[in-house]
Amino acid sequence: MEGVTISLGQLFLQIGTVILALALMGRFAGRIGLTPIPLYLIAGILMGQVMHLEGDAASFVSVGAEIGAILLLFMLGLEYTSRELEDNLRANRRIGLLDLALNFTPGVLAGLLLGFAPLACVLLGGVTYLTSSGIVSKVLADLGRFGNRETPVVLAVCVLEDVAMAFYLPVMAALLIGGTAWQMGGNLLVALGAFGLSFFMALRYGEVLSRLMNALSAEVLLLSTFGLVLAVAGLADIINVSAAIGAFLVGIALSGEVAERVRVLVEPLRDLFAAVFFVFFGLEMDVASLPDVLVPALLLTLVTSVTKFIVGWHGAAQAGVQTRGRIRAGVTLIPRGEFSILIAGLGAALTPVLGPLTAAYVLMTAILGPVLARFDGPLSRWVDRRPPA
């Protein structure tokens, strides 16, 4: 609860309890060979029913969750050099258009069937369109798949979606705020211009930044990188581009030796704060509102899991990947997450049911995707045993 003051001992006890719960879930996930993301989400829901974080503890977990989302996108950006990014975007632009058509449309249609206002339908389309880059990067890291042949396609789809969000979020924010046409146009020009400039700088002058950041001391390098990521994310958020997009661009800009060193240094921080991000989502979920939206959320999950699978399968097939790799690409793209929650938050006042619906939908896809990604072997064997058409 905001405004509640608790003692230092209570603060440490509450935060320690949350982190220990995460440790137990992570250990259990390791035992069964599953990424811990679904268990973190479930742990958050369960803890939300038995404990209530107050004051500074709630603030710490909330800010930690935001840092987790930022670091997940930063580490995803580190997987690319600027040249690889440009090549992947060119090579997969048709897959990006297929992704937009297949996964934005179901959300818009569902909104119309549920009686949402037109703007809320467009928001729900954004919710169903976006794969969670954070969950995808965590799944790929946990399962050791960054070097797989299908992974560039998966990451390219995520990048195209994140780039699309840099346009979509400012547009939706301006439409929701309202004002005169001149005011909305001015806000859009500032946000989109800032993103375009940042993207260009990251692609063209990343090597200069890498040389400036490459300190001999690991401590200085960590402090410099962490500070830069937070500062750029903050500036991006202020101009309504998205903090996560800002962090992603920093990751793209760093390359070569410095990127390899930063990856090793930041990875433990990423894992800690990413766990907080996922459990915070569970903690914030209003369980009482879920029964009313379970059926539409389940139907959306089934439809958009199939459409995401088609995108991943088709993209991997074009890249010459064999059956099992195509299946991995398809199921890895299923989870929705941080951006979907952000979009739902924009429309909370417009359509109150959008928040619970998105929460249930994100939870279902965030559990289904990582589970299927872990057990892709049986899926592949089933596909291979099917009689030819």
Q: What is the pLDDT of residues 74-96, one digit of tens each?
A: 887 787 666 666 776 777 889 99
* Inside any domain, residue 13: no
Query: Which residue carries 């390359």 as its tokens?
Result: 255
User: What is the C-alpha radius of gyration for the chain, rounded to an integer number of angstroms?
Assistant: 20
Whole-Å CA distances, 149 to 153, 173, 310, 329: 8, 37, 17, 10
pLDDT computed for residue 33 by the predictor: 67
* Inside any domain, residue 71: yes
Decide which of 282 and 154 is more confident. Answer: 154
Give the domain CATH number at 145: 1.20.1530.20
* Inside any domain, residue 253: yes
- The model's confidence at residue 104, banded by pLDDT at 50, 70 and 90, is very high
Enclosing domain of residue 73 = 57-282+289-376
Calculate mean pLDDT across residues 40-52.
79
Say if residue 100's pLDDT is above 90.
yes
* Inside any domain, residue 43: no
Cβ atoms of 192 and 239 within 8 Å: the answer is no
pLDDT computed for residue 102 by the predictor: 96
* Inside any domain, residue 120: yes
For the chain, what is the domain count? 1
* Inside any domain, residue 23: no
Per-position b or e across 161-170, b if 16+ CB within 10 A of its CB? bbbbbbebbb
- Structure token pair of residue 242: 């998205």
Say if residue 235's pLDDT is above 50.
yes
Say if residue 2's pLDDT is above 50.
no
* Inside any domain, residue 208: yes
Say if residue 7's pLDDT is above 80.
no
* Percent of residues, the chain, with pLDDT higher than 70: 85
